[in-house]
Amino acid sequence: MRRVRAAVTEAPGAPFTVRDVVLEEPRPCEVLVRMTAVGICHTDLGMRDAWPRQLTPMVFGHEGAGTVEAVGSEVTGVVPEDTVCLTFASCGACAQCAAGHPAYCHDARARNLSGGRADGSTPLSLDGRPLHAGFFGQSSFATYAVVDERGVVKVPSDLSAEVVAPLGCSGQTGAGTVLNRLRPEPGSSLVVVGAGGVGLSALMAAVAVGCDPVIAVDPVGSRRALATDLGAKAALPPGDGLVATLRDLTGGGAHHVVETTGRPEMARRAVGALRPRGELALLGMGDEVAFDVMGLLAKGVRIHGVIEGDSDPRRFVPELIALHRRGLFPLDRLVSTFAFEDIGAAVAAMADGGVVKPVLIFA
């Protein structure tokens, strides 16, 4: 057992409060990681607000980066002092994992969204009572985390922690949607709806593989400007006439649209912006979306639901690092850093649109 600091959510929608908590030592297939950085993702905030009361208090955080402190007796992939990126948990044995699609693991909910390990236990306690954890297999809003070996990816030690952290979720979600699922041909058009961390990661990947034009849609002027700096041919606000403008800019409709906002009206407009046989990837958490089925049939539209970029992190995170090294995936351009204890300020900066990807740094 060790005492650590963690940002605890006491009830659904409650603010993050940094508390002293107790963390178990790793089990045989687990890794103890000393956190150096953790990204804040919209998923952390959306899930916090909708989290079941019976699973609180809870520790969120799922874009961790750090250094291996200790490993369980059965761990073979990393050793103490390795620098690692933390990502989602998967079983490694089901049909989806075996096929290289661990984001769709049959045991994904129990391992990532149950408020604990797959067996129902939790490695954290607060004031002598169990503290729910295991968010995306890690709960990295803490100075240390215990993580299943499959959720740990070794990365180069010279890569800055604020770049490593977003690779675990937003980076691989956006880029993976483009590179793993849509796989656009060079010269094909691609529209990104929502220029946050996920959307801009998709945009950078699209630019890297030669999509043309790449267009961003976002209500925040600074984000539209950043999208243009990152290679978008145009960046538009989501106002009246958006669909017509997108169709004009893409020569009759986009080949691909990546929708990251989770807003039903934007998903419907995304379909309208596609050309016949175009493809729509839905990434944002949202509610039900009503589509005109005859419109989908007439255009031959293909709709993808994508989690974590349909990535196998042990393969894909190194690929993204290689793109970053070549200057083709400048993830650092999205990042603003905050001290871990300033998590409230980081959340506020993200909410008002002034910061794209806040990353908490541990002293």
| CATH T-level fold of 173-306 | Rossmann fold (3.40.50)
Stretch 228-241: mean pLDDT: 96
Structure confidence by residue, pLDDT tens digits, 311-337: 999 999 999 999 999 999 999 999 999
Domain boundaries, the chain: 2-168+310-361, 173-306
Instruction: Write down the residue that tokens 């804040």 correspond to.
Output: 40
CA–CA distance, 217 with 96 (Å, rounded to integer): 33
Confidence category of residue 170, pLDDT binned at 50, 70, 90 = very high
Among candidate residues 353, 362, 12, the one with its CA nearest the CA of residue 196? 353
pLDDT digits 0-9 by tens, 251-294:
999 999 999 999 999 999 999 999 999 999 999 888 788 888 98
Fold annotation for 2-168+310-361? Quinone Oxidoreductase; Chain A, domain 1 (3.90.180)
- Strands laid side by side in the 58-59 sheet: 58-59, 2-9, 16-23, 124-126, 129-131
pLDDT in tens, 143-164: 999 999 999 999 999 999 999 9
Residue 352 predicted with pLDDT over 90: no
In this predicted structure, what is the pLDDT of residue 288? 86
Q: What is the pLDDT of residue 354?
A: 85
Measured in residues, the chain has a length of 363
| Residue 182 tokens, joined | 């849509």
> What is the pLDDT, as a whole number, of residue 340?
98
Taking a C-beta distance cutoff of 8 angstroms, is the pair 145, 87 a contact? no
CA distance 171 to 133: 23
Return mean pLDDT, the chain.
96
